Chains A and B, each alone.
Chain A
Amino acid sequence: MYDGGKIIVGLIIGLGLFLSPFFYNAGKAAKAPAPELTPKAKEAKVCVEPASYMRESHFTLLDEWRHTVVRDGERYYKGSEGKRYYKSLQRTCLECHSNYSKFCLECHNYLDVDPYCWDCHIQPEEKK
Chain B
Amino acid sequence: MNFFLSIIFSFFAVVVVVLIPWIGVGALDLRVLFGIVIPYAAMATFFVGIVVRVIDWGRSPVPFRIPTTAGQEWSFPWIKRNRIDNPKGLGGVIMRMLFEVLTFRSLFRNTRLEYRRVNGVPKIDYEWEKWLWLAAILFHYSFLVIFLRHFRFFMEPVPAFVTLLQKLDGFMQMGAAPFNGFGLPGVYLTDMLLMAAVTWLLLRRILYSQMRYISLPADFFPLFLILSLGFTGMLMRYLLRVDVTKVKELAIGLFKFSPAVPEGIGVIFYIHLFILCVLIAYFPFSKLMHLAGVFLSPTRNLSNNSRFVRHVNPWNYPVPTHTYEEYEDEFRDLMIEAGLPVEKEPDATAGSEEKE
When the two chains form their complex, are residues B156 and A110 in contact, meaning their CB atoms are under 8 A apart? yes
Tell me if B245 is interfacial: C-beta within 8 Å of chain A: yes
Q: Which residues of the other chain, A, contact B58 by a CB distance below 8 angstroms?
A: 1-4, 7-8
For the complex, give the distance between the alpha carbons of A8 and B51 in Å.
9
Complex interface bits, B247-262 against A, C-beta within 8 A gives 1, otherwise 0: 0110011011000000
A33 partner residues in chain B, CB cutoff 8 A: 245
Say whether B248 contacts A111, CB under 8 Å: yes
Q: Mark B136-169, 1 if CB is under 8 A from A, else 0.
A: 0000000000000001111110110011001100
Residues of chain A contacted by B50 (CB below 8 angstroms): 11, 14-15
Please encode chain A, from 5 to 17, with 1 for each CB lying within 8 Å of some chain B CB and 0 for all others: 0011011001100
A80 cross-chain contacts in B, Cβ below 8 A: none
Residue of B nearest to A2 (CB): B61
Say whether B51 contacts A11, CB under 8 Å. yes
Q: Which residues of chain B come closer than 8 Å to A60, judged between CB atoms?
A: 181, 183-184, 241
B218 at the interface (CB under 8 A from A): no
The answer to whether B241 touches A25, judged by C-beta atoms less than 8 angstroms apart, is no
Q: Are B248 and A67 in contact (CB under 8 A)?
A: no
Q: Are B61 and A112 in contact (CB under 8 A)?
A: no
Known interface pairs A7-B54, A112-B166; A67-B245 also in contact (CB < 8 Å): no
Is B355 interfacial (CB-CB < 8 Å)?
no
Partner of A21, one of B166, B243, B255: B255
A110 touches B184 (CB 8 A): no
Could you tell me the distance in whole angstroms from the C-beta of A21 to the nearest C-beta in chain B? 4
Nearest chain-B residue to A4 (Cβ)? B58
Instruction: Tell me if B296 counts as interface (CB < 8 A to partner A).
Output: yes
Do the beta carbons of A112 and B314 come within 8 Å of each other? no
A107 contacts partner chain B, Cβ-Cβ < 8 Å: yes
For residue B213, CB closer than 8 A to chain A, the reply is no
B338 at the interface (CB under 8 A from A): no
Contacts A60-B183, A112-B166; is A25 near B54 (CB within 8 Å)? no
* Contacting residues, chain A, for B180 (C-beta < 8 A): 63-64, 67-68
> Using Cβ atoms and an 8 Å threshold, which residues of chain A touch B183?
59-60, 63-64, 67
Task: Please give, as numbers and ranges, the residues of chain B lying within 8 Å of A68 by CB-CB distance.
Answer: 180
Q: Please indicate the chain B residues that have their CB under 8 angstroms from the CB of A32 in the complex.
A: 245, 249
Q: A15-B50, A59-B183, A60-B181 are in contact. Are A110 and B62 (CB under 8 A)?
A: no
Q: How far is the CB of A10 from chain B (nearest CB, A)?
A: 6
Question: Is there contact, CB below 8 Å, between B62 and A112?
Answer: no
State whether the Cβ of B295 lies closer than 8 Å to any Cβ in chain A: yes
Contact with B along A29-63 (1 / 0, CB 8 A): 01011000000000000000000100111011001
B89 interfacial by beta-carbon distance below 8 Å: no
Question: By the criterion CB–CB under 8 Å, are B156 and A28 in contact?
Answer: yes
- Of residues 44 to 96 in A, which have CB atoms within 8 Å of B's CB atoms? 52, 55-57, 59-60, 63-64, 67-68, 71
**Which B residues are CB-close (under 8 A) to A59?**
183-185
Which residues does chain A contribute within 8 Å of B253, judged by CB atoms? 30
**A21 and B55 contact, CB distance less than 8 A:** no
Q: Which of A1, A21, A64, A68 has the most CB of B within 10 A?
A: A21
A10 to B153, CA, bound (A): 27
Interface residues of A (CB under 8 A from B): 1-4, 7-8, 10-11, 14-15, 18-19, 21-22, 24-26, 28, 30, 32-33, 52, 55-57, 59-60, 63-64, 67-68, 71, 107, 110-112, 114-116
